[in-house]
Amino acid sequence: MTTARRPILVPVLGDQLSRGIASLQGLTPGDAIILMMEVWDEATYVRHHQQKIVLILPAMRHFAVELRREGWTVDYVELGDPENAGSFTGEIARAVERWSPAAIRVVEPGEWRVRAAMDEWADKFACSVEILSDDRFVCSIGAFAQWAGDREHLTMEFFYREMRRRTGLLMDGDKPVGGRWNLDAENRRRPPKRLSAPPPPRFAPDAITREVMDLVQRTFGDHFGDLASFAWPVTAEQARSAADAFFTERLTLFGPYQDAMIAGEDDLYHSLLSTSINLGLLDPLELCRRAEAEYRARRAPLNSVEGFVRQLIGWREYVRGFYWHEMPGLAAANALDARRALPEFYWTGATDMRCMADGLRSTRADAHAHHIQRLMVLGNFALLAGISPAEVADWYLAVYADAYEWVELPNVAAMILFADGGRLATRPYAASGNYINKMSDYCGGCRYDVKQKTGPGACPFNALYWDFMARHRARFESNSRIGRLYGTWDRLGPDRQREYRDTARKFLDTLEPARAGWARTEGEPEC
Ligand code: FAD
Ligand code: DLZ
Ligand code: SF4
């Protein structure tokens, strides 16, 4: 680097580990100092699962090694550095002192609280600050806002069609390949007994990762989650090999069994790529193009490929736009006035409900549960039991390795809890035990009876479902998608209805509230 010119300082955050990140485009190693910061605030603003920290810090360290190999100057601040200021802003201040940069150039972050801090940098530091749009998403925050306009409901399906047109994915001219936009109806196959998928690759921790594992054990050993089984990809190369395995071994049946659940089968035909995509190790658009190529080469059926593409350029893009469009209100939204504390068993896994226990086990073991467990088991329970959205959101943000607020909060507050009052979903994803029984093998081995509706041995989802519907009758009776269910409820008559509601109340009374301090350090203000 020439000594005469003041460099551009380019902070790269822990989930911006993409070589093509916008802040580096157009720069050469001679122009820039790349700043990477391991900071206490990010590791503790919620008490992340131990594996989430072990995923992110080694991924950052490996990324720094790659950049240095390419000739970039990387100013890397480790968590254990005694001078570490503990926050992004504090570390930028120290870096500005060290380098006297001409400007700071950074890509917008994934979380509102970080954006709020970033917006203050220009006033705090004696140099200009350029905050760039994150072009790893197809739809910018501004473009989403334009699409949303003043629509009352932000229906994902219409947004998704726009994304298909914009990217040209699975299109024949201006028509969807195969004549239909969405093949979701073909993606709900009931799983046969003993459905089992080829296991996804696991990546043994190397020296860099093992060093962070020691650090996490020493420093965050009291955070939720097991560490010993850590096997997530932490480099772009590993992430590519995880993607290869998905495309060759699991994509074909991804579609049909997307909603299936089998006890002990934690991954089934899911891709397990969210941790790598969200870190920036994989490009979602490239994955979609590869999935399309599998279809065009007749190696994968359309329902699997369209399902996968829809998750990425539909749901993933949509929830990100929704987050920025609805924040900061979304974090405090509670349209159903749900106030119950999160039960302790979400943290301990100690419940006799087999479906819940299985999802909680994989959450603890791998910092992962697949979509339908997050949505229709763990999320459905939180909805029906009326658990406070803020407590549920903290839990999801802390326990999953792929969780950042931009993707976690819309899924929790809007998709599962209906806390946004129906901006995202036209009806709540509420279901009784019957749904779980149809889509899984859980109920056979459960101490509760899924066919029994009331009484102490009945599947708790059954009474909770009707209790939820009865509690929210005023809101949902006029809903064209679920209003007619109140006819079924009315036909039960007052005595039977009372039995349902008593069963629900008695069950809810047994729930022990989670002790303080699991998700956030006690006594610290919420960020
Ligand atoms: P696959 O089933 O293989 O799906 C392929 C990809 O599609 C995923 O890797 C992911 O990038 C994307 N995707 C699928 N569904 C969604 C969705 N609803 N929203 C956004 N992207 C989606 N996903 C996260 O990445 N981080 C989260 O914090 C997160 N929290 C969730 C909370 C709840 C309550 C629910 C219902 C879903 C949440 N999801 C979250 C979405 C989804 O459950 C995970 O992306 C998925 O389980 C990751 O596993 P996979 O890579 O095997 O996904
Ligand atoms: C989640 C996380 C953790 C645990 N640690 C760091 C860190 O030390 N340094 C960093 O740059 N990023 C970390 N992250 C990811 C950030 O929380 C994430 O970049 C912001 O939330 C913005 O999305
Ligand atoms: Fe879950 Fe009810 Fe089935 Fe038990 S019976 S596994 S609680 S749905």
CA of 371 to the centre of ligand 1 (A): 6
Task: Give me the pLDDT at residue 108, please.
Answer: 98
How far is 379 from 364, CA to CA, in rounded Å? Answer: 16
Q: Which two tokens stand for residue 284?
A: 């979602």
Q: 515 C-alpha vs ligand 3 centroid, how far in Å? A: 25
Cα separation, 399 vs 367, whole angstroms: 6
For residue 374 and ligand 1, the question of a CB distance below 6 A is answered with yes
Indicate which atom in ligand 3 lies nearest the CA of residue 442. Answer: 6
Nearest-atom index, ligand 1, CA of 371: 43
β 73-77/32-37 pair status: parallel
Evaluate if residue 194 carries a pLDDT over 90. no
In ligand 1, the atom with minimum distance to the C-alpha of 369 is 47
Give mean pLDDT, residues 378-395: 98
| Mean pLDDT, rounded, for 157-175 | 97
Q: Is 14 in the pocket of ligand 2 (CB under 6 A)?
A: yes
Ligand nearest to the CA of 87: 2
Ligand 3: residues with CB < 6 A are 353-355, 433, 436-437, 442-443, 446, 448, 450, 459-461
> In this predicted structure, which of 87-91, 118-122, 187-191, 305-309 has the lowest mean pLDDT?
187-191
Does residue 3 register a pLDDT over 60? no
Q: Cα(317) to centroid of ligand 1, in Å?
A: 11
In this prediction, residue 523 has a pLDDT band, given cuts at 50, 70 and 90, of low
Closest-CA residue to 460 (of 522, 382, 526, 366): 382
Most informative mutation of 404, 411, 418 for ligand 1 (most atoms within 8 A of CB): 411
CA of 363 to the centre of ligand 3 (A): 18
How many other β-carbons are positioned within 10 Å of the β-carbon of residue 91? 23
Q: In the predicted model, what is the mean pLDDT of residues 40-64?
A: 97
The C-alpha atoms of residue 113 and residue 323 are separated, in whole angstroms, by 12
What mean pLDDT is predicted for residues 381-388?
Answer: 98
Does the pLDDT at position 524 exceed 90? no
pLDDT in the model for residue 73: 98
Averaged pLDDT of the chain: 96
For residue 527, pLDDT over 50 is answered with no
pLDDT of residue 4: 62
Give the amino acid at 385. Answer: A
How far is the C-alpha of 369 from the C-alpha of 377, rounded, in Å?
Answer: 10
Residue bearing the CA closest to ligand 2, atom 15 = 14
Ligand 2 lined by 46 (C-beta under 6 Å) = no
Q: Which atom of ligand 2 is nearest to the CA of 88?
A: 11
Ligand nearest to the CA of 413: 1
Beta strand 175-176 pairing with 171-172: antiparallel
- Whether the predicted pLDDT of 126 surpasses 90: no
pLDDT, position 153: 85
The reply to whether ligand 2 has any atom less than 6 angstroms from the CB of 37 is yes
Q: Is 48 in the pocket of ligand 2 (CB under 6 A)?
A: yes
119 Cα: distance to centroid of ligand 1 (angstroms): 29
**Among the listed ranges 190-204, 338-352, 463-477, which one has the minimum average pLDDT value?**
190-204
What spacing in Å lies between the alpha carbon of 402 and ligand 3's midpoint?
27
Ligand that lies nearest to the alpha carbon of residue 460, given by its number in the listed order: 3
Query: What is the distance in A from the centroid of ligand 1 to the CA of 375?
Result: 10
pLDDT at 101 over 70: yes
Of the CA atoms within 13 Å of residue 482, those in its CB half-sphere come to: 19
Which of 274, 408, 415, 420 for mutating ligand 1's site (highest number of atoms within 8 Å of CB)? 274
Quickly count: other Cβ atoms within 10 Å of residue 240's Cβ.
15
Q: Is the CB of 111 under 6 A from ligand 2?
A: yes
Identify the H or E element spanning 425: none
**pLDDT score recorded for residue 526:** 44
Which ligand 2 atom minimizes the distance to the CA of 13?
11
Task: Provide the percentage of residues in the chain whose pLDDT is more than 70.
Answer: 98
Which residue, judged by its Cα, is nearest atom 17 of ligand 2?
A: 42
**Residue 107: is it exposed, middle or buried by C-beta count within 10 angstroms (0-12/13-18/19+)?**
buried
Query: From the CA of 428, how far away is ligand 3's center (Å)?
Result: 20
Q: Average pLDDT in the 283-296 region?
A: 98
pLDDT at 332: 98
Instruction: Find, among 76, 131, 140, the residue nearest to 103 by Cα.
Output: 131
Residue 311 Cβ < 6 Å to ligand 1: yes
* Ligand 3 binding pocket mutation candidate from 262, 351, 355, 434 (most atoms within 8 A of CB): 355
Whether 164 lines ligand 2, by a CB cut-off of 6 Å, is no
Q: How far is the CA of 474 from the CAs of 14, 18, 86, 153, 484, in angstroms?
A: 45, 48, 48, 19, 13
Q: What is the per-residue pLDDT across 424-463, written as a single tens digit (0 to 9) for each? A: 999 999 999 999 999 999 999 999 999 999 999 999 999 9
Q: Which has the closest alpha carbon to 358: 263, 443, 439? A: 263
Q: How far is the CA of 313 from the centre of ligand 1 (A)?
A: 12
